[in-house]
Chain A
């Protein structure tokens, strides 16, 4: 029972949504969300196990997961920009910059803490990527009903999550030092519960939109 938290529950529901709605999707970027969300659920469960059962720090697990998160999210943004412009070179450049910051921080921390600076930089880049998508969408002459636009809801979810988590990422070191609320969970945990609910609700809805779009095209 200890593995069932709001975070793991939300992630699992989103994984189920991805599995049901995207299994037959022709776009690789969208289909990648099925293994990605499955790995997110496993990682979250392992994180809970390490923290609550084994009583060992789980930062290394989240350090590895950050690589996956950056890889998949960046690739999705790249595929969403595709109808407007080819940003292949931007993607490769960003991957190189990210790896450089990530490795530098890991070495500086002697592999003994979470790479919070890299996570902050990544959040800022994804916020900018979301804003750039909105810009492309506004500049595009073609009209699309945003209420049923899968890319729009996916980007909106990402924007909420990464913009909202900026403060927590900036104050990560401070928050990990202070005493948690009720002696149980930190403010960071509560904020991330809220952010995860928003992110996974938006993404689940985006997957549903993608499914409906595919259905309407095939019928």
Chain B
């Protein structure tokens, strides 16, 4: 079959037209993909903002915890010491010199103990700086305070644990996680012993907190409103790319393992 030159010209024109439609669709595709990229970037920005807000909240909570500890200590320790000092001083009879000397020696001891307490409080007031010194140091200091209450037997192990990331935000969040877990044990666990382990494993570190308290049903607690604290722990761990696994059996304590990559 012979094809006329008009038909060939028509075919060339048609092919050229098709060759023009192809780039048009390609441009539409690139533009629509670019729009998706914009949306993705906005979502990323929102996530970053949420993280920053959560970090700020965490920092405030660490401060609040410090202030609470100070308030308790002022009331329970220094307050009591100073009250006893006042009572002892007002009961001194200057005519009875032997008894007065004994009481003054007691007052001297009370005053020294008060000074020690105030010094310890002053160190605690700089608690926010603790996290800057490293996570292990901050945890050690917090545990030191807890040991003073004599309510718990504390076992703390940190093997080959250095600075894990140099990321201050991550360390603050982990420290707050530690505080939240310890608070939960103090308030609900009815435990007598707390075991804390800091481990450095390949490209991650592990914080294990175990107690010998009453234990609880993890699934049921997570379903209830009271499980918000536990939700908070898993949410915050996930925020820094980590995992918090909670295991507990009623009557035989609980264990929380926080694994954070660095």
Contact = CB atoms under 8 A, between A and B. Distances in A.
B23 interface: yes
A61 to B, nearest CB: 24
A143 B38 CA distance: 6
A81 interface: no
Contacts of B27: 156, 159
A136 to B, nearest CB: 11
Interface in B30-57: 30-31, 33-34, 37-38, 41
B5 interface: yes
B23 A146 contact: no
A163 B5 contact: no
Contacts of B9: 175, 178, 181, 187
A146 B19 contact: no
B81 to A, nearest CB: 61
Contacts of B5: 178-179
Contacts of A152: 30
A159 B41 CA distance: 28
A179 B6 CA distance: 9
Interface string B1-40: 0000100110011011001101110110011011001100
A171 interface: yes
B23 A163 contact: yes
Interface in A35-66: none
Contact of A143 (B20, B30, B37): B37
Interface residues on B, range: 20 to 34
B30 A137 contact: yes
**Best-surrounded residue of A147, A164, A165, A174 (most CB of chain B within 10 A):** A164
Nearest to A186: B9
Given A143-B41, A187-B12, A164 B19 contact: yes
Contacts of B22: 163
A138 B41 contact: no
Contacts of B23: 156, 159-160, 163-164
Nearest to A133: B30
A84 interface: no
A181 B13 CA distance: 12
A181 B37 CA distance: 48
B34 A174 contact: no
Nearest to A181: B9
B30 A146 contact: yes
Contacts of B33: 138
B8 A163 contact: no
A195 B19 CA distance: 11
Contact of B16 (A137, A138, A156, A164): A164
Given A134-B30, A146-B30, A159-B26, A174 B8 contact: yes
A129 to B, nearest CB: 13
B20 A160 contact: yes
Contacts of A134: 26, 30
B12 A167 contact: yes
Contacts of A179: 5
17 contacts: A137-B30, A143-B34, A143-B37, A144-B34, A147-B31, A156-B23, A159-B27, A160-B24, A163-B23, A164-B19, A167-B15, A167-B16, A167-B19, A168-B16, A175-B9, A179-B5, A198-B20
Given A146-B31, A164-B16, A167-B15, 16 more contacts: A131-B26, A137-B34, A143-B41, A146-B34, A152-B30, A156-B23, A160-B24, A163-B20, A164-B19, A164-B23, A166-B19, A168-B16, A187-B12, A190-B13, A191-B12, A191-B16
Interface of B: 5, 8-9, 12-13, 15-16, 19-20, 22-24, 26-27, 30-31, 33-34, 37-38, 41
